Amino acid sequence: MPALSRKKLLTGVILAFVLFFAILLLVPFIARLLQLGKEPTYWFSRFSFWAGLAVLLAYVVKVEKQPFLLWKESRQNIWFYLLSFIAIIVTIYIGSIMIAIILKVMHLSSTSKRFLQVLEIFRHDIPLMLFTCITAGATEEFVFRGYMMPRLQLLFNNPFITIGVSSFLFAILHIGYGTVNQVIGPLFIGCVFAIHYYKFRNIRVLMFCHFFWDLQAMLINLAYYKHP
């Protein structure tokens, strides 16, 4: 396979981020034009992320003419998946608690009004909650780890930049929730996932961890923020 030019690499990384960020900006606007309710709007936004992934795949096939995942997926045994899952989730739990404590000491709000609105939607639409967690786990890991990281590594040949830039862009994608915690939290989680992917080259375990983390977070928050 021919080596990718720096221009194609950079274009692909920019395209991946712009596609997903544009979805966040355009979906609410389109939903208002179509006069969609809150739940249909959220369904529409989740399907839009899959459409964005399809557009990126088309770019890979037509322009890059390379595999979507440049890093060959490593084959691992069941113990790798089990231990990786435990290590990743425990690390994220500890980090999230520390971040929450620091934000509380600094008197920075960690509760997003938009997140609470989303919780109320999920309270009445469990299939949408499950589909949201599946969508996040699959599309975001494919794009921000599987697609971006190998190309950033080819561009900069520096693991710190690769991990840092992919995690930063992943965090920026969550800025719409409107709180510091909703950016710092994903930044930390993105770094944990990125380090694991850089070391082990296995996207499947990250997709499951991402899905599990989002799902348990939704369930815990649904129980904590009880419907008035």
CA dihedral sign, ordered 140, 141, 147, 152: positive
How far is 159 from 55, CA to CA, in rounded Å? 27
CA-nearest of 21, 9, 188 to 96 is 188
**pLDDT, averaged across the chain:** 92
Q: What local confidence, expressed as pLDDT, does residue 164 receive?
A: 97
| pLDDT tens column, 101-158 | 888 888 776 667 778 888 899 999 999 999 999 999 999 999 999 999 999 999 999 9
How far is 115 from 132, CA to CA, in rounded Å? 13
How far is 186 from 164, CA to CA, in rounded Å? 12
| pLDDT tens column, 39-83 | 999 999 999 999 999 999 999 999 999 999 999 999 999 999 999
| pLDDT tens column, 3-47 | 678 899 999 999 999 999 999 989 989 998 988 888 999 999 999
